[in-house]
């Protein structure tokens, strides 16, 4: 009931004709829920909106970026947090460019009210125009696992949509930061005292096919955040430097600080 009321308040804010304040935008990001509006089962489409406080943590990784693209932007949680970080601390905010790609027009309409400073493109991220290039950073909380897809990444041929999205991002930006299911990250950190590297066969396939290595973050435990609106996925933040593609041979060598991983990497 409280959720329905808060969602209605978010809708009322969106229906006003004036620009929203910072507090109002964040209220919408925290409380707008598609499931309160329609009979669509949001989770089937993989549309778990990121809790705003987690989005703000992830935005630590956009520091220094001027051009950013958000793939599968939803209503704009990641893009909003990134935007706030990109312009933060400047008396006269620097020029920044944010592009949000989202295929659901209802989300795009909400996103345009939450972050009108961004360019919102209602499109399929697997069929983007060629002129979307040269971003400093790509961010995404993509659909996870075997969600239905219209296309695939340019190199990866496996089953995980999150890896396909990262593969797409690698051709658009110099670096990336993503939320992925914990099982798709090469480490276990969030929600467990047993911190360790753990590379699945599917991760190794992704790395071998794309040359992309997913790296650890600065120690963000995503499990502390409630606010997933009805779901509670276990996720990790992974970072990547897309300018550093590894060859198959390099991927087989143990990283200097992870001698114990040799067997896994060579698998
Ligand atoms: C897990 S949600 C995350 C939304 C938002 N990034 C956030 O963090 O709150 C994934 C989003 O990707 C969108 N999406 C799924 N497949 C897509 C595609 N092929 N092209 C564009 N957007 C897509 C969904 O509609 C959904 O909004």
Token representation of residue 56:
């703000």
What count of residues does the chain have?
Answer: 267
The CA distance from 47 to 156, in Å, is 22
We report the CATH number of the domain holding residue 50 as: 3.40.50.150
pTM of structure: 0.91
Alpha-helical runs (H) found in the chain: 2-15, 22-31, 52-58, 77-87, 105-114, 161-169, 201-210, 248-252, 262-266
Q: How many CB atoms lie within 10 A of CB 88?
A: 10
If one counts the domains in the chain, the total is: 1
- The domain of 227 spans 2-266
Q: How far is the CA of 252 from the centre of ligand 1 (A)?
A: 33
For ligand 1, mutation pick of 28, 103, 228 (most atoms within 8 Å of CB)? 103
Please name the residue whose Cα sits nearest to atom 11 of ligand 1: 72
Q: How many CB atoms lie within 10 A of CB 115?
A: 26
Pick the atom of ligand 1 nearest to 47's CA. Answer: 2
DSSP H/E element including 196: strand 196-197
Please name the residue whose Cα sits nearest to atom 2 of ligand 1: 47
Token representation of residue 87:
């312009």
Please name the residue whose Cα sits nearest to atom 9 of ligand 1: 49
Token representation of residue 15:
């229906």
Q: Which among 100, 139, 141, 147 has a CA at the least distance from the CA of 123?
A: 100
Residue 48 Cβ inside 6 Å of ligand 1? The answer reads: yes
Q: How far is the CA of 13 from the centre of ligand 1 (A)?
A: 23
One digit per residue, the tens of pLDDT, for the chain of length 267 reads 688 999 999 999 999 999 999 999 999 999 998 776 654 545 445 578 999 999 999 999 998 899 999 999 999 999 999 999 999 867 676 789 999 999 999 999 999 999 999 999 999 999 999 999 999 999 999 999 998 899 999 999 999 999 999 999 999 999 999 999 999 999 999 999 989 999 999 999 999 999 999 999 999 999 999 878 777 889 999 999 999 877 766 776 555 555 444 344 444
């Amino acid at each position: 009931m409280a959720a329905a009321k808060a969602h209605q308040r978010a809708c009322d804010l969106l229906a006003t004709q004036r620009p929203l304040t910072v507090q109002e935008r964040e209220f919408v990001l925290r409380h707008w829920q598609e499931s309160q509006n329609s009979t669509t089962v949001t989770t089937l489409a993989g549309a778990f909106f990121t809790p705003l406080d987690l989005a703000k943590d992830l935005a630590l990784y956009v520091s220094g970026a001027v051009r950013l693209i958000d793939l599968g932007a939803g209503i704009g949680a990641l893009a909003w947090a990134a935007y706030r970080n990109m312009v933060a601390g400047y008396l006269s905010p620097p020029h920044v460019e944010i592009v949000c790609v989202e295929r659901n027009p209802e989300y795009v309409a909400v996103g345009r009210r939450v972050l009108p400073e961004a360019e919102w493109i209602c499109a399929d991220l697997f069929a983007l125009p060629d002129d979307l290039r040269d971003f400093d950073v790509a961010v995404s909380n993509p659909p996870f696992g075997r969600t239905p897809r219209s296309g695939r990444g340019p190199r990866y041929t496996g089953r995980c949509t999150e890896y396909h999205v990262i593969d797409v991002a690698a051709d658009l930006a110099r670096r990336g930061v993503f939320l992925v299911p914990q099982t798709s990250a090469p480490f276990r950190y969030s929600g467990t005292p047993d911190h360790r590297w753990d590379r699945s066969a599917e991760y190794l396939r992704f790395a071998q096919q794309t040359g992309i290595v997913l790296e650890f973050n600065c120690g963000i435990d995503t499990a502390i955040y409630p606010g997933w609106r009805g779901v509670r996925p276990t996720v990790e933040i992974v970072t990547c430097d897309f300018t550093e593609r590894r060859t198959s041979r390099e991927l087989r060598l143990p990283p200097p600080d992870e001698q114990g991983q040799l067997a896994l990497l060579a698998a």
